[in-house]
Structure formats: C-alpha cells, structure tokens
Structure 1
C-alpha cells in the first residue's frame, strides 16, 4: 500500500477530511495538532483500546477464558464466531479484539476480567477518569452505538499515548498476522497419530490496520474503527529518530491519508526548541540580611521541547520566584521556577537555583542595618 505525500504549506498543518483529529507525542503526552479535539463523538471500535489495556493490566495473558452466552450472542459487525463454552487464552482474545476488531471477543474479555459486562464497563469509565479523559463515557466494550457512549479525539489521544507505553499492547497493535487457537476441553480432546493433543480449532487473523502493510516509515499501530454513525475512524502510530507520535482520526472518508499526512507533519514540522540552557542566568532575587544584597538565579537544567515551527514565536515565559530568602543562601538552593506556555498550556518548567553562596551579615552589621 502506497501512501500519499504530505501537502503542507510553509509549516502549516495539512488540511484533512476528518471531522475530528488529534496528534500527540506518545512520550510527553503533548498534543501538537487538534481539529475539534474536545468535541464529543462516537469512537466505534477505537473503544477496544480501553478494553484491551484494562484487560492487560488486570488479567494474565495465559488466563483461560470460558465464553459465556452474552459474548456468544454478539453477531453485529466483525466477530470470530465465539460460541458459549468455547475456551481461549486471554492473549488470543486480545489479539482478536485489537487486530481483527472482533466484537464478541471484547464481551468475553470484559466478563472474564470483571465477572460481568456492566462491571467491566464501570472499570473502563473509572480508568478513563484516572487518565484525565474528561469528555468520555463508555457504555460497552466494543463501540456499538449507544447514546451514552462517546469520547473525543483528544481523549483518545491521551488513552493511546498511555496504552502504547505498555509493551504487551504495543506488540499486539504492531502485529499484522496472528493465529487464534480454541482450546480443547476435557470431553472433546483430539489427538494426533503419535498421541499428542491438538487444538480443536485455529483461525488466522490479519490486522484491519492497512497502514501496517504500507510503505509508511516507522508505522507500528494502532487500531481501526467503523460504524455507520461514527464513520471511518483510525488511531495510527509511528516511530522515527527516537520519537513516537500517534494520531486519532474520527469520521473521515480518507482516514489513511489523513493519518499519514498528520504524522508527517508531526515528524517534519514539529521540531526541538531549547527553552533554557543549564546554568543560564535568568534573574536576580533579593536576599535579606546577606553580605550580598541580591543573588543570581540560573536554570538548574537544560529544557528542550518539541513545538510546531509556526508556533515557536507564540511561546510565553513566566518566572515565579519565592519570597526573598534570609541569608545564608547556598549555591544550588531552589528559589523559583521558570515556566513556558503555548496557548495557555504549560510546555515545561525548570527550577531556578542560586548561582553562588551568600553569607549572613554579622549580628553587629544586622543590628546596624536595622538601626
């Protein structure tokens, strides 16, 4: 699969067809681009990102999951044909959910982890709140339409950034092909001629994420989603030169090009900017009862962030100092912070420290100064 070349003009982000989108740095959590980023929308099968990461954290990949009636009854959309009583490893159900987008597998996962579907959904919402997903509410495990099932592009970006830091999740969503195995039960074991057990059933699945089969540099995930109401959705991630970016595309008639063009924008137009150098002189602060009346404050460390080139000039700096300290002051004492903002969002901060020792005046001189 070939991907379209990015179409940007003088550092501007590309025009995309998605109704909503978000571009995030997986490592820092910084959002570089958004379009209707906080507008509530239906996530379709992107819901399964939450289902999967929660199951990975709460379960064991080698757990044997017994499929119940509710999961077996799922027939809408994509499924792997689970039947009541089927036994599969949790790991295989996760692959079916994340790679093949199987709706029945997510119900089986939720019931296994929480004991019942609705309790698992509550766990999903609790997790969303803990991650700071402020405009999200889940009503099911797979993304079926429901009036109370919604999220936003920015919230999904936050979720994806978190999930991709889990090695198991990252490995599954970067896999193009896998074999799902149904485990035999005690009453229906099948054996080969040499007496070894063999599985009752196996199925090869392929990822619905076409970008994994493309020539796009560094692509390594994540998940597709499609329903009539949500439209064509996609979360994609790629890594280059030590950076990993993820993009959320909601309701687009060309989600593949939207995703790759935004990723290219992130890699090419979002560049490192040094906001502070270590030991850089920033300001001075009064010292009470010191041999020196003021102390120089320097940046404790180097601060570098990634910012879209067209927004560098919009960065604002704010210096926050402690009340004037009383001598003695030691070199390295933290006496303030220097913070940097872009569109009222903090990009980073660095501590300001004393650049020299300031000894205390003798009692006689202190008395004389007060007189």
Structure 2
C-alpha cells in the first residue's frame, strides 16, 4: 500500500509541474492559477500552466471586442449612445449618457485605456445590433482564431458564470490582434497608449483617460518579481490588456519586445499586483532562455513547377510568408535548415498566390513548422498546342515561323508565276519577230522575183 501511495504521489507531483518546451534556467513560480508564454512571432509555446483550464477573463475580453471593431467599423464613424447602455454597466466606465456622440476611435481608446465597460457595450451594439448577437460573433471569431474553450457572453467581461476563456485562447486571440497585417498597427496603437484625451462632446465636458496596464508607465510603485522588488514599468513592453473582477481575480495579457524577440504572456486568476509580477517573471525567463531567429523571407525563389495546359509550361514558386524560428538563447542559427517540396505538376489556370507546395523548416532533425510555397504569377490556360506541352510563347514562335514560311512560299510562287509569264511573253515576242521576219523576207523575195520577172519580160520584149 505504501508503495502504491508513493507512486500516486510521484504522479501527482509530475502532473502539477508546469509544462515548458525547453530552457536553461528554472521557470518562475507564479501566483496565477493558469498561464502561458508564447513567442509572438512564431507562435511557439514556451511555457504553460493549466493553459487550457477555463477561468473568467474579465476585461481581457475587450481584446476581442477591439479586434472586431477594427475589422467591422470605420474608426472615424460617429456613434450615438442609446438610451439603455449607460444604465446596463457597472465597474470601470467613462460615464456615457444617452444621446452622447463619440467616434469609434474615441470609444476604442476609452475601452482599451480606461477599460470602459460602457464603451465596449456601445461598440458591440454598433456592430451587431444587440449584445447577444455580438457575443455570438465574438465566439465565432474566437473559434476561427484557434480558441478551443472560450464562451463570451458580453463585450466587456463583466462577470457571468457562462463567460469563460483560457490562457491559451486569450493568447491566440491577442497574438492575431497584434500580428494581423490589416489591423495590427491600429490595435498596437490602442494597447500602448498611456494617456488619452477626449474633447468635450455634445453631452459631456472633456475627459482625460489613463491606461490600466502599469507595465507601460509606472516607475514609482514596486512589485516583487522572483523575490526582488522592481518598478512595474517593463522594458520593451508592447501591450496588451488588464482584467480584474472579484470572481476573475487579476488577469493580464502582456507583451514585450527585445532584440527582435517579442513575447506574449497571459496570466489568469492571480492577484491585482500578482498578475503584473507573474507576466514580468515569465517574460524575464523567456528573454533569458529563447530568441526569435528569421529563417526565410517572403517571396524567396523556391524553384519551378510544371504547368499542364498552361500558357507557359512552368511557374515560379515563392515563399508565401516570412518564417522565423524560436531557438534556445545559446543555440547557433546554423541548426536551421529547410526542405522544399513542390508539386510536380499543376493544371492551368494557376492563380498568383495559389499553393503549389510546402517548405519544411527544421531545427536540427526536428520539424519546426511548415509554410506554403505559392505561385509567383498567374498562368492562364494555353492554346491548342499547350495540350502537348508547348507553351503559348513557343506556339507563337511556331505560328510565326509557319506564317513566314507560308509567306515565302507565296512570294516564291508569285515570282515564279511572274517569271513564267515573262518567259511566255518573251516566247510570244520571239515568235512574232520570227513571223515578222519571215513575212518581210517573203515580201522581199516576192519583190525580187517580180523584179526579175519584169526584167526578163522587158528583155524579151526588146528582143522582138
């Protein structure tokens, strides 16, 4: 029995140890119940602690609300606050009143700096009409971004037993918001704004708003990180969003960049100061042990693939996107290698950007990631000769050659006919000249004969 209990105890200890991919130093102890650390660029998970366990996300919910607003609304659009929203919120807000008009951009900044719950509701209703419909949109988009255990009920994260997410899911949503080319610039501006000013509106005086993320600015107050007191402001911080309710505890999605490596940390169910300490400790550990290394650049020439029935019989393949790899901090970049696997043939038409193969990225012998190889240009369907593998350019040359030969033959035939006609005319002229000569000779002969005859007749007459 003691042996069995010992085995069970060992298993329990092993299961309670946070999972991390590799590293050279000991991972920090965290206050938060769930956490994750990710390389923002590559998506590589460097550390996780109960990362797929559901917790209440509190105002970290607003990351999704901001993303959907940027995807669906014009930031310069003016929005009028309805009669109900100001009375449907509690917690942090900017005291919106019915009929007040603000731009989408002002609402977004208020939501992401002051963590204004009323602004989140206004934005959700502006996009979908009702909070319920907006929550449905949030959940749909979350699944599209890779979230596995998230259920949003409202746009602001105010407590609801059914409103849950995970550290992993929040990391997936935040990573997309921070890296998506279409909206990331605007999103990053929102989550790094420390102070924001709203001029007087049609209903309210001016407002000065301040970001709740102490990592951005707080050089006065201190927090204990790995046993050391440090100011809250974190070197290289790039976002993202705080969250706190009595049910959720302290939540934080944080990111920072140093020397080309950007890390994303998520902590849930911590304390108010603990969420900052946890994320700082995680990112300290991440920067000490890992680095992001560029492997390939988008547009790199990868070779050519044969095209069947196309206007050309080959198309160039290029890399679809930039590729980076997460390596241990002390690892050599020479451990990175690539393998290009292009389709042997593709059928026309081929669209520019169409996937025509893959590129495998290896760290040593380990496959790290796979990215697409795409067509560098569009290839249209070819003409009749493309069915036997002759591209249109060659077919055109063949056609021009045939046409040239045909024209030469026609020209030769015309010249031949002209020569023959000239020869006929010459023969006719020679025959005419011969006939004319014979006629003149005959006339001359007859004239001579007649002259001789006349002479002989005169002679005969004279003899008589």
* TM-score exceeds 0.5: yes
RMSD over aligned Cα, in angstroms?
A: 3.4
Partner of 1:106: 120
- Of residues 241, 246, 251, the one that matches 1:223 is 241
Rounded Cα–Cα distance in structure 1 between residues aligned with 2:27 and 2:257? 19
How many Å separate the matches in 2 of 1:341 and 1:151? 33
CA distance change for structure 1 residues 144 and 350 in 2, over 3 Å: closer, same or farther? closer
Q: Deviations over 1:227-254 (max 9, x none)?
A: 1111011111111112221111111121
Task: Please state how far the C-alpha of 1:76 moved relative to its aligned partner.
Answer: 1.4
CA distance in 2, matches of 1:338, 1:129: 26
SS of equivalent residue, structure 1 residue 245: strand
Matched, 1:239 2:257: yes
Matches for 1:268-347 after TM superposition, within 5 Å: 268-271=288-291, 305-308=325-328, 347=368
Distance 1:255 1:347 in 2: 31
CA distance in 1 between partners of 2:185 and 2:168 (Å): 22
Q: Unaligned stretches of 5+ in structure 2? A: 1-22, 219-232, 297-321, 345-355, 373-464
The match for 2:185 is: 167
Please report how far the alpha carbon of residue 255 of structure 1 lies from its aligned counterpart in structure 2 after TM superposition: 1.1
Counterpart pick for 2:276 among 256, 267, 286? 256
Question: Does the 8 Å CA contact 2:244/2:250 hold for their aligned counterparts?
Answer: yes
What's the counterpart of residue 103 of structure 2? 89
Higher-Rg structure is 2
Name the CA distance, whole Å, in 2 between partners of 1:304 and 1:60: 33
Which portions of structure 1, spanning 4 or more consecutive aligned residues, are displaced by more than 6 angstroms?
273-276, 309-312, 319-322, 334-337
Please state how far the C-alpha of 1:171 moved relative to its aligned partner.
Answer: 0.4
| SS, match of residue 184 in structure 1 | coil
Q: Return the TM-score normalized by structure 2.
A: 0.57
Give the 3 Å change call, closer, same or farther, for CA 66–275 of structure 1 in structure 2.
Answer: closer
Matched ranges for 1:1-371 at <5 A: 10-165=24-179, 166-184=184-202, 200-214=204-218, 215-253=233-271, 254-271=274-291, 305-308=325-328, 347-349=368-370
Note if contact 2:110-2:209 (Cα within 8 Å) is conserved in structure 1: yes
Structure number with higher relative contact order (C-alpha < 8 Å, ≥ 6 residues apart): 1
Distance 2:138 2:295 in 1: 38
Unaligned runs of 5+ in 1: 1-8, 186-199, 277-301, 325-333, 352-371
Higher helix share: 2
1:54-101 Cα distance to aligned partner (Å, 9 max, x none):
001100111111111332113411111111111111111111111111
Q: How far off is 1:164 after superposition?
A: 1.2
Aligned CA distance change for structure 1 residues 261 and 70 (closer, same or farther; 3 Å):
same
Give me the whole-angstrom Cα distance separating, in 2, the residues matched to 1:24 and 1:120.
28
Q: Tell me, yes or no, if the aligned pair for 1:87 and 1:182 is still in contact at 8 Å.
A: no
| Whole-angstrom CA distance in 1 between matches of 2:371 and 2:69 | 37
Inter-partner Cα distance in structure 2 for 1:275 and 1:103: 42
Instruction: Quote how far apart the aligned CAs of 1:311 are.
Output: 11
Aligned to 1:285: none
In 2 relative to 1, CA 303–160 (structure 1 residues): closer, same or farther, beyond 3 Å?
A: closer
Cα displacement (A) at 1:36: 0.6
